Amino acid sequence: MAHGPAKGIGRWLFTTNHKDIGTMYLWFSFAMFLMGGFFAMVIRAELFQPGMQIVKPEFFNQMTTMHGLVMVFGAIMPAFVGLANWMIPLQIGAPDMALPRMNNLSFWILPFAFTLLTATFFMEGGAPNFGWTFYAPLSTTYAPPTVNYFIFGVHLMGASSIMGSINIIATVLNMRAPGMTLMKMPMFVWTWLITAFLLIAVMPVLAGAVTMMLMDINFGTSFFNAAGGGDPVLFQHVFWFFGHPEVYIIILPAFGVISHIIPTFSRKPLFGYSSMVYATASIAFLSFIVWAHHMFLVGMPIGGELYFMYATMLIAVPTAAKVFNWISTMFRGSLTFETPMLYAVAFVILFTIGGFTGIMLAIAPADVQYHDTYFVVAHFHYVMVAGAIFSSTAAVYYWLPKWTGKMYNETMGKVQFWISFIGFNITFFPQHFIGLAGMPRRYSDYALQFSDWNMISSIGAFTYGAAQLLFLFNVVRTIRSGTPVSEPKTWEGAEGLEWTLPTPVPYHTFSTPPTIK
């Protein structure tokens, strides 16, 4: 019955195999990660010294905007969708995703979306330059003419994400192996199930926001234009009603990955599984009711400020439950520190730092000082890079031997981890200081007193960037000439259905569902 993949390019264009599509998502994500990373290098090179050296301020604005858009929508989100495609059917004992053709469509939309978005660099007016949050009226009245390409690009990404999430929910709810109840599902599946619901709830809101922009720009409506009875603050409410759940869309699957890696290398089951599930669900719920903490300075009544401040702080409770569960899993475990575990432990430490700065930012009166400074930049890079990127890197190291049947070079992996870890902290830790000292974000130049920390930050950024090339090299080298491995369990402490399969994972798996006791 089993037949292998089709030959040639057709395999990738027409595939409905969840493993092929997962692989394409992951490579696409890495390509976008390198592109967004290149934009970041331009930003840090310009900020290496005060004054204008390398690029013009207008181009600098395009760099910050495109860095944010490409990293959030092109690198992080597809990375986790790729992992979901690969791992969810394997972890629940399903032969494939529930809607394989839609799966193909939702991937192949993405290259077109990002072609639309990045083609704007070569058009008159240049790429979007209004920040990744595209606040009106910067993105409407004062936007470059290419903003329409940006809008359609976002529409396409939204369509892709919605289809991907529908597929994941349909798979998880309908295709679990007999005996796998919801409360027996692996954590990665749980976090993705909840994430997919978040995506279905908020991607249409994002699409709505850009559609209203489109109407304001081209068809004379005034959703965000005060002259016609609209309100620019409405834009911020709509955007952050999408934007805040979006940050949990990015981080929840990361929590799932970490909840697999830490038990494996602690050789203990995950501590507090059911509290992990409930914490994930609580975080998802709370993410919908805290959006205005991004807008403390728009002029909110005191009651609003207090509500959004306390509701935001409440998120720290389920998040802390997760962190304590991970620590308890490690406690008195038989720990070893292979590369995925190093990344997972770094995730727990650095994500917690990012969480604490998040609580600082949630304090409405203090936010008056922190708002739109490098402190915010440091905060969200601690949760986005050390959270989402570190965990997806960890996931690749963790499952790559299973996928390919070849072992990566452990020494190179560890070296790559330490360069990344040190480079990351050199880049972003100083940004806390210059932010507190008052350096605003998104500017191409800065006052002289910020020079030293900016130079250090840039050096860290170049180091971190170089480490990612080493990661690429290690992965390619593994696929081409890694040491073959064949035992089902790459890691002796690993548990779960995916480790019952032969290594490398065959093209078709679980044609007969396994039974869970």
Partner 1 sequence: MSTSPVKKTLVKLLVGAAGMFIFAIFVMPPLYYVLCDLTGIGGKTGGRYEAQDASVDITRSIKVQFITTNNGSMPWDFSPKVTEIVVHPGEPTAVAFYARNRTSKDMVAQAVPNVSPFSATKYFHKTECFCFNEQPLDAWSETDMPLVFIVDKDIPKSVNTITLSYTLFDITNREDPPVAQLN
Which residues contact partner 1 by CB under 8 A?
98-99, 141, 162, 165-166, 169-170, 173-175, 200-209, 211-212, 220, 222-223, 226-229, 231, 233-234, 237-238, 241, 299-301, 304
* C-beta neighbour count of 28 within 10 angstroms: 21
Q: φ and ψ at 182, to 5 degrees?
A: -55, -40
Nearer to partner 1 by C-beta: 46 or 96? 96
- In contact, 417 and 346? CB cutoff 8 Å: yes
499 is catalytic: no
- For 510, left (φ over 0), alpha (ψ -120 to 50), or beta? left
- Give me the least distance between CB of 430 and partner 1, in Å please: 38
231 is catalytic: no
161 is catalytic: yes
Please report the DSSP string for 33-99 in residue order. HHHHHHHHHHHHHHTTSSS--SS-HHHHHHHHHHHHHIIIIIIIHHHHHHHHHHHHHHHHT-SS-SS
Q: Which helix (H) or strand (E) is 484 found in, with range?
A: strand 483-484
Selected catalytic residue, list 259, 391, 444, 458: 259
- Give me the least distance between CB of 360 and partner 1, in Å please: 26
Selected catalytic residue, list 86, 192, 248, 374: 248
322 is catalytic: yes
248 is catalytic: yes
- Give me the least distance between CB of 389 and partner 1, in Å please: 28
Amino acid letter at 516?
I
**CB under 8 Å to 200, separation ≥6 — which residues?**
162, 165, 166, 169
Selected catalytic residue, list 216, 246, 305, 338: 246
**Degrees to nearest 5, angle at CA 192 with 324 and 250:** 75
Nearer to partner 1 by C-beta: 170 or 281? 170
Rounded-to-integer distance, Cα 194 and Cα 278, Å: 11
Nearer to partner 1 by C-beta: 247 or 353? 247
373 secondary structure, DSSP code:
B
Q: In whole angstroms, how large is the CA radius of gyration of the chain?
A: 22
**Per-residue b or e along 388-426, where b marks 16 or more CB atoms closer than 10 Å to that residue's CB:** bbbbbbbbbbbbbbbbbbbebbeebbeebbebbbebbbb
Nearer to partner 1 by C-beta: 225 or 325? 225
132 is catalytic: yes
- Give me the least distance between CB of 419 and partner 1, in Å please: 42
Which residue in 335, 485, 506 sits closest to 408, CA to CA?
485
259 is catalytic: yes
Selected catalytic residue, list 18, 19, 44, 67: 67
244 is catalytic: yes
- Give me the least distance between CB of 287 and partner 1, in Å please: 15
Nearer to partner 1 by C-beta: 197 or 443? 197
Nearer to partner 1 by C-beta: 177 or 335? 177
Q: Name the 3-class secondary structure at 3.
A: coil
Strands 406-407 and 483-484: antiparallel
Selected catalytic residue, list 18, 176, 322, 432: 322
Selected catalytic residue, list 165, 280, 319, 478: 319
176 is catalytic: no
487 is catalytic: no
- Give me the least distance between CB of 293 and partner 1, in Å please: 16
492 is catalytic: no
Selected catalytic residue, list 132, 135, 307, 443: 132
Nearer to partner 1 by C-beta: 183 or 227? 227
- Give me the least distance between CB of 500 and partner 1, in Å please: 25
67 is catalytic: yes
In 331-363, which residue ranges form alpha helices assigned H by DSSP?
339-362
Catalytic residues: 67, 96, 132, 160-161, 244, 246, 248, 259, 293-294, 319, 322, 441
